[in-house]
Chain A
Amino acid sequence: MEQLKTEKICFHCHDQIQDSVLYLDGHSFCCNGCKQVYQLLSEHALGSYYEQDINAGIRPNNIPEEAFAILDDPELRKRFIDFQEQQIIRITLHLPQIHCASCIYLLEHLHRLNDGIIRSSIHFPKRTATITVNTDRIKLSKVAVLLTKIGYEPDFKSIDKSATTFDKRLILQLGVAGFAFGSIMLWSFPEYLGIDKTYAGIRNLSSYLSFAVSIPVLLFSASDYFKSAIGALKIKTLNLDIPIAIGILALYIRSCVAIFTHEGPGYMDSFAAFIFFLLIGKWFQGKTYQWLSFERDFRSYFPVAVIKNTGNDSVLCPIEELKIGDRIAIRNEEIIPCDSILLSEKATIDYSFVSGESDWIEKKKGDFIYAGGKSYGETIELAVSKTTERSSLTQLWNERHSKHTELAFQTRQDRISKYFIAAVISIAVISSLVWAFIDPVQIPEIITSVLIVACPCALALSVPFVYGNILRVLGKNGFYLRNTAIIERIQRCNYIVFDKTGTLTEQDHKHIYFEGETLSFQETEILFAMTKHAVHPYAKAIHTSLKRIQNEAFPDSPVEIPGKGIVFGKYKLGSTDFTGAESSSDNESVVFFAHENKIIGKFVFRSSLRSNLEKLIPELAQNYQLAVVSGDKPKDYDVLKTIFPKKTTFLFEQQPLQKKEFVDHLQETGNYVLMIGDGLNDAGALNSAFVGIALSEDLVRFTPASDAILKAQHLSLLAQYFRFVRDGKKFLKICFAFSICYNLTGIGFAVSGALTPFVATVLMPLSSITVVSLATFLTVRKKFPPITE
């Protein structure tokens, strides 16, 4: 049995083999594509591809070569290529399928597959390949075709070349601060051990060195805190960077005074350490998933260029350069890039990505076609009636978060800073009043001491470490947040809106049952042959649901009529009109099977709900109000009603704009909405929701712009993820309490006039280290149950 099981898995892509098995070299393959990749690799001595990682292979997609024609046009390709010197071109391609060591191995040995490829190197975190090509030997479009053939389809649309610049600056700042921190600490060591005035020469030299080293820290490493504080003051708000900036300045000025009055190195060590720790916090928080794209808009979904017919000629034209009235040609399975009018006799359009509706729509000459539909069948000609930017759906996707929700939301850190500043100022005032009676000369000293120790270093580290760890723990469990600010947003939400198709239900049509006369053996055979090469998803689903009994040869070959059905001799399979069936209820998806215009029966498609929803929904309902909005017909209402609580709002047959308006309406009435969706039809709603979560089957496929991406298999854990995120508030409070304790201890020293550089040097790292380890301990021990697929 065991052996049988292993044989059923494709050697290349490790998928379960469904029906026909192909064999080569004693390995089994699920499809011809996988077999060809294997063949290609073993012919070019790249067999060790399979040894680098167990899950190496990717099943290749079928992409028409013309899709890459843009790479051969010297003008249009300019924005993709990095460098060109006569026939040598270097290009950086985003290959979202890169996932393991084997991918690096294969893609860095591309030169063995074609000698026109000179060099290729992978940037793993960004999932890009930089390829140097000799275009005399191989055309760029052929390189893209080759990549697609071995499973790595280039995604031209979402290369963001500026992504790393910010990070790099932070690393440089961190380096400078670390250097200064280490050096000053070393030079201050005699100071800690109690060096006295007899060695004034050494003390002065080390003080001046400390001063020299501290200048770049102040001007370069700490500059962002000053900018942020000034920025906040300008718009008359308070943030935590204000007390930080005040503390930094107090430390620095006090130390400079100490150095130039030959008092010793002052607090320079604390100053450098302080900046160093703050920057570490910033760096830790700044963890991003470079390979995931949270910012995709319609552009990454549409083709880069389409064929424009100008008189007798046809040229490739980038979609942003299309003008009203242009005539464009759209080939089979291409996406219509702008609102337009059909010039061809008829067209079959699949709007499933836009509206969530899975049925294909038939259009006639002169009909208006919205952007975003996928055309099936023969090449169609269209006249552009609105440019892409102004097409009705793209406009919807272009709108960002409304300003209202953006401004009204202040992070917890910033809200706390108000009290913090007030407390620090009042402590400084009170202690100086008290000291006015004891020893008025000491007052400036006391005030600077208070400002120094009140500097909220540990407080400023709590948020990066608590939220940064939460971000990491969730990321390990298939829930990727765009940044740590999203955590506070999720904590605020009280209303969850679900999309139905693809979110609550699975995308493939697994639940099919047949109603009508029992199918005879021959009819089953006919259906099997009929649907074998079909394109329509329903026909494909019927094909996989049938059990093959015997391989019979038929005289006719099936003819698929896009958008209608399949004709096969005297048999017909397809829609109501096509087969001449009496129309059934609109609330279900059916395909009729007919023989000589007599209906034999119908296939009914039930979308299957994702697993464990019946447990997840009541869990969520305890804390949130729920709603379901769907672009589809209300066919699954009965099932959904059983698992959702009574007060859930159900909306069906919603257009993308209506979904967005529903979310907007909820937010206007004071709710904070968390929207979960998967397709472009949800893009508008995801954008206007307070938090938008995009559900993705495999992270590679398109996800609309969102705040977070959730792996579809992990949906059942959503309630637990949210609880963990809400727990973050509690963790943060514990860390805040600890850091305030340290601040109070320091203030105790400061108001009694006992603060020395040594006390500051011990207190500050100690508080930072406790808070960091506490934050890590609280968050990292969280374990989520494993997902069984």
Chain B
Amino acid sequence: MGMIYIMLIVSLCLAVFFLGIFLWAAKSGQYDDDYSPSVRMLFEDEKKSNHNNPENDGTTNSEVRQ
């Protein structure tokens, strides 16, 4: 049964650890904006303009003309 004592303490430590992370995240404003990070991660790093990228130019134009 001695194991249970250790488990109780471990469970408390784990819970406190996650609570700490949650409080830190909430305080540093990570829950403020729930939309832009989801968009931001999908941005291409570098993309050429329509002039320099004939492939891209083609698709955009055909979309407009359809």
B-binding residues in A (CB < 8 A) = 3, 6-7, 11, 25-27, 42-48, 50-52, 101, 104-105, 108, 121-126, 164, 168, 171-172, 175-176, 179, 182-183, 186-187, 199, 201-202, 205-206, 209, 213
Given A175-B23, A205-B8: A3 in contact with B15 (beta carbons within 8 A): no
Residues of chain B lying within 8 A (CB to CB) of residue A199: 1
Given A47-B49, A125-B35, A172-B26: A202 in contact with B12 (beta carbons within 8 A): no
- Among A25, A172, A182, A206, contact of B27 (Cβ-Cβ < 8 Å): A172
Given A6-B65, A172-B23, A175-B19: A47 in contact with B60 (beta carbons within 8 A): yes
Residues of chain B lying within 8 A (CB to CB) of residue A125: 32-35
Please report the C-alpha to C-alpha distance between residue A332 and residue B50 in the assembled complex, in whole angstroms: 39
A-binding residues in B (CB < 8 A) = 1, 4-5, 8, 11-12, 15-16, 18-19, 22-23, 26-27, 29, 31-36, 39-40, 42-44, 46-53, 56-57, 60-61, 64-66
- Among A47, A172, A201, contact of B47 (Cβ-Cβ < 8 Å): A47
- What does DSSP make chain A's interface, helix, strand, loop or mixed? helix
Please report the C-alpha to C-alpha distance between residue A469 and residue B15 in the assembled complex, in whole angstroms: 32
Please report the C-alpha to C-alpha distance between residue A121 and residue B32 in the assembled complex, in whole angstroms: 13
Residues of chain A lying within 8 A (CB to CB) of residue B11: 183, 186-187
B34 CB, nearest partner CB in chain A, Å: 7
Residues of chain A lying within 8 A (CB to CB) of residue B53: 47
Chain B minimum-CB-distance residue to A109: B43
Please report the C-alpha to C-alpha distance between residue A123 and residue B35 in the assembled complex, in whole angstroms: 9
Given contacts A3-B66, A104-B40, A124-B35, 9 further A-B contacts (CB under 8 A): A26-B64, A45-B48, A45-B52, A124-B36, A125-B35, A168-B26, A172-B27, A179-B18, A179-B19
Chain B minimum-CB-distance residue to A123: B33
- Among B15, B32, B46, contact of A164 (Cβ-Cβ < 8 Å): B32
Assess whether B8 is in contact with A187, with CB atoms less than 8 Å apart: yes
Residues of chain A lying within 8 A (CB to CB) of residue B22: 175, 179
Assess whether B19 is in contact with A27, with CB atoms less than 8 Å apart: no
- Among A11, A122, A213, contact of B36 (Cβ-Cβ < 8 Å): A122
A463 CB, nearest partner CB in chain B, Å: 24
Chain A minimum-CB-distance residue to B21: A175
Please report the C-alpha to C-alpha distance between residue A121 and residue B36 in the assembled complex, in whole angstroms: 9
Given A125-B34, A172-B26, A183-B12: A47 in contact with B65 (beta carbons within 8 A): no
Given A125-B35, A183-B11: A105 in contact with B23 (beta carbons within 8 A): no
Residues of chain A lying within 8 A (CB to CB) of residue B60: 47, 50-51
A143 CB, nearest partner CB in chain B, Å: 20
Please report the C-alpha to C-alpha distance between residue A457 and residue B65 in the assembled complex, in whole angstroms: 59
Please report the C-alpha to C-alpha distance between residue A52 and residue B36 in the assembled complex, in whole angstroms: 12
Assess whether B39 is in contact with A101, with CB atoms less than 8 Å apart: yes
A283 CB, nearest partner CB in chain B, Å: 11
Please report the C-alpha to C-alpha distance between residue A304 and residue B34 in the assembled complex, in whole angstroms: 32
**A–B Cβ pairs within 8 angstroms, 11 of them:** A45-B46, A47-B48, A48-B56, A105-B39, A108-B43, A121-B36, A172-B26, A175-B22, A176-B23, A202-B8, A213-B12
Lowest 7 A-B CB distances belong to which pairs? A45-B49, A124-B35, A179-B19, A101-B39, A47-B50, A124-B36, A175-B22
Please report the C-alpha to C-alpha distance between residue A7 and residue B22 in the assembled complex, in whole angstroms: 51
Assess whether B61 is in contact with A6, with CB atoms less than 8 Å apart: no
- Among A51, A126, A182, A201, contact of B15 (Cβ-Cβ < 8 Å): A182
Assess whether A124 is in contact with B33, with CB atoms less than 8 Å apart: yes
Assess whether A123 is in contact with B36, with CB atoms less than 8 Å apart: yes
Chain B minimum-CB-distance residue to A11: B64
Given A172-B23, A202-B1: A104 in contact with B36 (beta carbons within 8 A): yes
Assess whether B51 is in contact with A175, with CB atoms less than 8 Å apart: no
Residues of chain B lying within 8 A (CB to CB) of residue A42: 49-51
Assess whether A3 is in contact with B65, with CB atoms less than 8 Å apart: yes
Chain B minimum-CB-distance residue to A45: B49
Chain B minimum-CB-distance residue to A98: B36
Assess whether A43 is in contact with B35, with CB atoms less than 8 Å apart: no
Residues of chain A lying within 8 A (CB to CB) of residue B50: 25, 42, 47
Please report the C-alpha to C-alpha distance between residue A164 and residue B28 in the assembled complex, in whole angstroms: 12
A95 CB, nearest partner CB in chain B, Å: 13
- Among B12, B43, B56, B61, contact of A209 (Cβ-Cβ < 8 Å): B12
Residues of chain B lying within 8 A (CB to CB) of residue A168: 26-27, 29
- Among A26, A104, A176, A179, contact of B61 (Cβ-Cβ < 8 Å): A26
Please report the C-alpha to C-alpha distance between residue A206 and residue B42 in the assembled complex, in whole angstroms: 47
Please report the C-alpha to C-alpha distance between residue A366 and residue B29 in the assembled complex, in whole angstroms: 55
Residues of chain A lying within 8 A (CB to CB) of residue B4: 202
Residues of chain B lying within 8 A (CB to CB) of residue A206: 8
Please report the C-alpha to C-alpha distance between residue A42 and residue B39 in the assembled complex, in whole angstroms: 21
Please report the C-alpha to C-alpha distance between residue A44 and residue B15 in the assembled complex, in whole angstroms: 49
A539 CB, nearest partner CB in chain B, Å: 33
Residues of chain B lying within 8 A (CB to CB) of residue A25: 50-51, 57, 61
Residues of chain B lying within 8 A (CB to CB) of residue A121: 36
